[in-house]
Amino acid sequence: MLLALSIAAIAQTKAKNVVMISVDGCRWQEIFRGADSVLFYTKKYRQQDSAAMSVKYWGKNVAERRNKLMPFFWNTISKQGQLYGNRDLGNLVNVRNKYWFSYPGRSETLCGYYDEKIDANDYPNNPNENVLEFFNKQKGMEGKVVTFASWDALSRIINRDRNGMLVNIPGEKVKGNNLTAAQKLANELQNYLPEYFGKTVRFDAHTYALTRSYIEANHPRVVHIDFADMDEFGHHGQYDSFLDGAHYVDAMVESLWNYMQADPFYKDKTTIIVYPDHGRGLGDKWTSHGTSAPGSNETWMAILGPDTPATGEMKAKSQIYQDQFAQTVAQLMGLKFTANHPVGEPVKTVFK
């Protein structure tokens, strides 16, 4: 075990903990440009009051619109961390896989590997090892690696049958004999929420409540959150609620970051990384993704933590891929991720 650890450990980093956050189907266009002027004013894509939505998300230029949509990204991460994927500047992030939908995208990111065989959202248990279970095998991290997901496919993508990690999916409550009041309430809420998108998906706010109460009670070292509202609202053609999805993810990331920076266990030794599983199409194809929606292989990444230079919005012409994030996260934790498959290189500019 000691030998394995000495091989796995590569460099001293400040991060002792990491939070990985996936935002299903969140486009780079909304992150870097804010609300899309055409979609925002297309009546069929709107359900909410347009005057109220304008106050919330509209602005006279891109800077105003993106600040309103994602205030934590543009007031904090853009000053203290990094934002990759503004294609208007030639800064490119893409999925490596050729499918451009959810299971393949998440598998590529978590495993650091594009496996052509993984070609369906109902694909069974993932045969490829992921960086979460790699962490869970390291000394001092066993049982300290947890996932809370808004979509039930995460149990298969992470293959919890193989690794036995906590992967909490829709319909499941957090178990334990010493649950806090907040955890009990988060569990109970699950009985009362509408199944707006069916049984396989739950609202991100609920996933967040389960995650946050678990973090406060148990202080896990690696937290993986998988949000899904944006993709669901996108497929339903509700652009106003799609924007709300982005705005609320931004707010939940801010709340979690502020909590962690006030908790000595996490303060100044935790990195948060946020990314989607794929993009979406352009124009009226914004509701969809996959190869029939050109552009939906285009993604983005945000990162904030003690080992990452505060270069903000990345402006250099460059190209990174989602299959690089797993090794990036491993290296942030001072480890080299090895698995039963090749692993993409870390993103070098993430490190000081």
User: For residues 119, 123, 128 and 130, what is the CA-based torsion angle, rounded to 10 degrees?
Assistant: 100
Contact between 151 and 228 under an 8 Å Cβ cutoff? The reply is yes
Q: Which is nearer to Zn ion, 197 or 257 (CB)?
A: 197
Among 102, 109, 159, 287, binds Zn ion (CB under 5 A): 102
Token couple for 199: 């049984």
DSSP 344: P
Contact between 77 and 302 under an 8 Å Cβ cutoff? The reply is yes
277 lies in the binding site for Zn ion (CB under 5 A):
yes
Q: Classify the phi-psi angles of 323: left when phi > 0, otherwise alpha if psi is within -120 to 50, otherwise beta.
A: alpha
Report, in Å, the least distance between residue 239 CB and Zn ion: 17
183 lies in the binding site for Zn ion (CB under 5 A):
no
With contacts defined by CB under 5 A, name the span among 99-107, 145-153, 211-219, 254-262 that binds Zn ion.
Answer: 99-107
With contacts defined by CB under 5 A, name the span among 88-96, 112-120, 151-159, 276-284 that binds Zn ion.
Answer: 276-284
Going by C-alpha positions, the residue among 299, 270, 293, 252 that lies closest to residue 106 is: 299
95/145 Cα distance (integer angstroms): 25
Among 231, 232, 240, 244, binds Zn ion (CB under 5 A): 231
Q: Which is nearer to Zn ion, 58 or 233 (CB)?
A: 233
63/222 Cα distance (integer angstroms): 33
Report, in Å, the least distance between residue 29 CB and Zn ion: 16
Token couple for 130: 């992921």
The identity of residue 206, as a single letter, is: H
Residues 4-63 that bind Zn ion (CB under 5 A): 24-25
10/3 Cα distance (integer angstroms): 13
Q: Classify the phi-psi angles of 84: left when phi > 0, otherwise alpha if psi is within -120 to 50, otherwise beta.
A: beta
With contacts defined by CB under 5 A, name the span among 90-98, 102-110, 168-176, 303-311 that binds Zn ion.
Answer: 102-110
Span between the terminal Cα atoms of the chain, in Å? 30
Report, in Å, the least distance between residue 51 CB and Zn ion: 31
With contacts defined by CB under 5 A, name the span among 56-64, 210-218, 248-256, 269-277 that binds Zn ion.
Answer: 269-277
104 lies in the binding site for Zn ion (CB under 5 A):
no
Contact between 332 and 350 under an 8 Å Cβ cutoff? The reply is yes
Report, in Å, the least distance between residue 178 CB and Zn ion: 35
With contacts defined by CB under 5 A, name the span among 189-197, 226-234, 258-266, 280-288 that binds Zn ion.
Answer: 226-234
Q: Which is nearer to Zn ion, 24 or 229 (CB)?
A: 24
Report, in Å, the least distance between residue 95 CB and Zn ion: 10
Report, in Å, the least distance between residue 279 CB and Zn ion: 10
DSSP reduced 3-state for 23: strand
Report, in Å, the least distance between residue 19 CB and Zn ion: 20
Q: Which is nearer to Zn ion, 277 or 313 (CB)?
A: 277
| Interacting residues toward Zn ion by CB under 5 A | 24-25, 102, 231, 277
